[in-house]
Amino acid sequence: TSVTSAKIQVNGVHLHYQQTGEGSHAVLLLPGMLGSGQTDFGPQLKSMNKQLFTVVAWDPRGYGKSIPPSRDFPPDFFERDAKDAVDLMQALKFKKFSLLGWSDGGITALIAAAKYPNLIHKLVVWGANASVTEEDVRIYNGIRDVSKWSEKVKKPLEELYGHKYFAETCEAWVDGISRFANNSDGNICQQLLPDIKCPTFIIHGEKDPLVPQAHAEYIHKHIKGSRLLLMPEGKHNLHLRFAEDFNREVENFLR
């Protein structure tokens, strides 16, 4: 089945998304910082079961092909993304759907699942965190300067955005997410976790250099009945690096 690519107006912006499959179970893929469906979910768009699932990968506002507007990071940017994501799926006429969120997209998915419980069927998050610690801020500052990134990670994003937008948006993201460290307990969405009622699967790479394992354990502990899978060799991009294992685990959970 081919992957279609289109834009739809949602909350005053034109959001870009890719869609594939004709299964009755709709699934939304939520990308990470600076991410898009194209850069973040190639193996999922290609290989997830097209008979069981209808897979949608979106570009949040200011990312990927959902520009304009330019990306910004007001204090409620995760809530804004969560509303955009849910409203996009409703605009596409999906009554109920599951969320697969990576990194920032995982945070967005946690918020969406808590705030729109009647719409979310199941939830999978990996590389996500519900709070920002001083250690996290140190890690974020370590990736502030994109010229220090590995060529492999940098290249697709430079091709997508051009160097200037990529570099400036990354700096703005570091400043935006670091602000949460000033909240009590560094809170992003800790208080919402008990409101998540749908079946939830948390995956974490034990070698993730960006998100310490304690974050995955905290989310698991505070979402009742959730499942936690640790991948010993997994890093932050475990769904790309170990796509076959990841897709199999996730499809089994979603069935």
C-alpha–C-alpha distance, residues 220 and 202, integer Å:
7
User: Could you tell me if 198 and 123 are in contact, meaning their C-beta atoms sit under 8 angstroms apart?
Assistant: yes
- DSSP category for residue 187: B
| DSSP H or E segment with residue 200 | strand 200-205
**Buried (b) or exposed (e) across 173-204, using 16+ Cβ within 10 A?**
bbebbbebbeeeebebbbebbeebebbbbbbb
To the query of whether residue 208 is one of the catalytic residues in this protein, the response is yes
Q: Would you state the structure tokens that stand for residue 188, as one six-digit string?
A: 């992003």
C-alpha–C-alpha distance, residues 3 and 21, integer Å:
8
Active-site option among 204, 215, 236, 239? 236
Active-site option among 16, 136, 208, 220? 208
Active-site option among 103, 131, 178, 226? 103
Residues identified as active-site: 103, 208, 236
